[in-house]
Structure 1
Amino acid sequence: MIIQKISFRDQVKDLLIQEIIDGNILTGQKLSLVELSKKMGVSVTPVREALTQLQESGIITYKLNQGFYIKKINPTEAKDIYEVISYLEGLAIKQSVFTTQIITDLKELQKDLQRTMTPLERQKIDYKFHNTLIQGYSNENIKSVLENLKATVYIIELEYMKTDYVNISNTTHLNIIKLIENKKANEACKELQEHWKLSYDFLKKCEL
């Protein structure tokens, strides 16, 4: 995981987010500045700066005299996060340009998702699906916000991928693709909102 020595803080932040999404860093886990700096081949300073940024984004929490930890969110926080994700991703769909290639990629990812067996693999493909869904959206700032928000609920999504909720999720994915293909962006947005509501309904049911 050695990084290029360019924009240290931003590279460290991006790598940490990816580690969370990949399931390599778990909720409640303490993050060692020294270990991370050695692993990434940089000094402690950019690691601390990156962790501070992630703390401001709500992904990491800092405990006095203890250090940085991956934050565990409560149901109320999760509800707020899912509402924002749903709204921003819906906005992105409405304003995206969907090329034939993007639609083809969405279909292929959905096929992969239905063939995939392990929860972690499902989560990774689902993440790619949603990124592809907003690939034709030009607002990079909102894309960055979405990435941070999704990282905060990754553990919920991973548990979600272990359940039969996945079958309902697959159906909504297919509906979204069909609506986009038929140039019905507003209806696709509504379907997407119902899709994200599934995650929160799952959280309430399981009390993660």
Structure 2
Amino acid sequence: MNYLLPHLSTDFSEVRDTTLGALVRHRLLSKILSGDLTPGQVLREPEIVEELQVSRVPVREALKQLESMGLVVARKNRGVSVRTLTDKEVSDLYAFRALLEGFAGQQISLRGAAERTALAARLDLLCGEMDDAISQDDAKKYYHSNLRFHWAFIEVLGNEEIENTYREITQKLHLARFKNLQDLAHRKQSNDEHKLIVAALRDAGTPAVPKSCAALLEAHVKQALVRLRQI
């Protein structure tokens, strides 16, 4: 799930110039994305200061940054808490995600056979990982492989603006998606759809293929929202 987090360099010359606020934001974002901090949970400044051994200034800076990212909300006299998305927000984000993934699938399908075959092989491995996770009834393992499956299309597309936008959408949606994949039947159906997407990618341009990779990707994301609503 590393692609969901802002990049922090291991180069000490760059780390030296990284603000404490950015480091605190990174830590809090990691806790939100791991589920250690859940929607509605209050983020108490004194507790964060004590835990991270920093002053209040970088903590406030980090919380403001997370608020601008749409991941926490500040309310007068109620403090700051992890944001809970409304049903409409979840639906809107899924629709946007479907649009981006469909576009990525469409563009990649137009590329050469070698590039498509290489991506298909990578996706096959991830489908295998998800099959293993299903057999082990390991929702967390499945979730991480699922994230990597979808990110592979965005990464191979190579458009930095789309990468940034997709990352923001995934950060906001991750708890809803993880909840969706807690259901074993949903995981099985999801991975069956993944395999159809890979087959369509591998056979892109073949007239006999009933549905394009782009159409299957978009339908898969929309179907994920349907499954979430069933929970």
TM-score (ref. length: structure 2): 0.75
Shift of 1:89: 2.0
Residue pair 1:85, 1:149 contacting (<8 A) in 2 also: yes
Of stretches 165-174 and 20-29 in structure 1, the one that deviates more from structure 2 is 20-29
**Structure 2 residue aligned with 1:104:** 121
AA at the equivalent of 2:213: A
Shift of 1:57: 3.0
Q: Provide, for residues 176-198 of structure 1, a one-character-per-residue CA deviation record: whole Å limited to 9, x for no partner.
A: 111112235x8212111111112
- 2:44 is aligned, of 29, 32, 39, to 32
1:70 and 2:87 are equivalent in the alignment: no
**Alpha-carbon spacing, 1:50–1:170, altered in 2? closer, same or farther (3 Å):** same
Residue pair 1:31, 1:68 contacting (<8 A) in 2 also: yes
Q: Where does the alignment leave 5 or more consecutive residues of structure 1 unmatched? A: none
Shift of 1:39: 5.2
Whole-angstrom CA distance in 2 between matches of 1:150 and 1:90: 15
**Structure 1 residue aligned with 2:178:** 158
**Structure 1 residue aligned with 2:194:** 173
Residue pair 1:21, 1:124 contacting (<8 A) in 2 also: no
**Alpha-carbon spacing, 1:62–1:137, altered in 2? closer, same or farther (3 Å):** same
Q: How does 1:96-135 map to 2 (within 5 A)?
A: 96=108, 98=115, 100-116=117-133, 117-135=137-155
**Alpha-carbon spacing, 1:179–1:30, altered in 2? closer, same or farther (3 Å):** same
1:48 and 2:73 are equivalent in the alignment: no
**Structure 2 residue aligned with 1:141:** 161
- Pairwise CA RMSD: 2.6
Residue pair 1:86, 1:192 contacting (<8 A) in 2 also: yes
- 2:70 is aligned, of 43, 58, 67, to 58
Q: Provide, for residues 141-186 of structure 1, a one-character-per-residue CA deviation record: whole Å limited to 9, x for no partner.
A: 22122112112222221221121111111111111111112235x8
**Alpha-carbon spacing, 1:7–1:24, altered in 2? closer, same or farther (3 Å):** same
Shift of 1:43: 5.0
**Structure 1 residue aligned with 2:221:** 196
**Alpha-carbon spacing, 1:34–1:144, altered in 2? closer, same or farther (3 Å):** farther
- 2:18 is aligned, of 7, 13, 16, to 7
Residue pair 2:154, 2:162 contacting (<8 A) in 1 also: no
Partner SS state of residue 81, structure 2: strand
**Alpha-carbon spacing, 1:35–1:140, altered in 2? closer, same or farther (3 Å):** farther
Partner SS state of residue 147, structure 2: helix
Q: How does 1:80-99 map to 2 (within 5 A)?
A: 80-96=92-108, 98=115
Q: Where does the alignment leave 5 or more consecutive residues of structure 2 unmatched? A: 1-7, 9-14, 206-210
Whole-angstrom CA distance in 1 between matches of 2:23 and 2:161: 16
Q: Provide, for residues 77-124 of structure 1, a one-character-per-residue CA deviation record: whole Å limited to 9, x for no partner.
A: 111110011111222233346454433221111111111122222212
- Identity among equivalent positions (%) equals 23
Residue pair 2:155, 2:163 contacting (<8 A) in 1 also: no
AA at the equivalent of 1:195: H
Shift of 1:22: 2.6
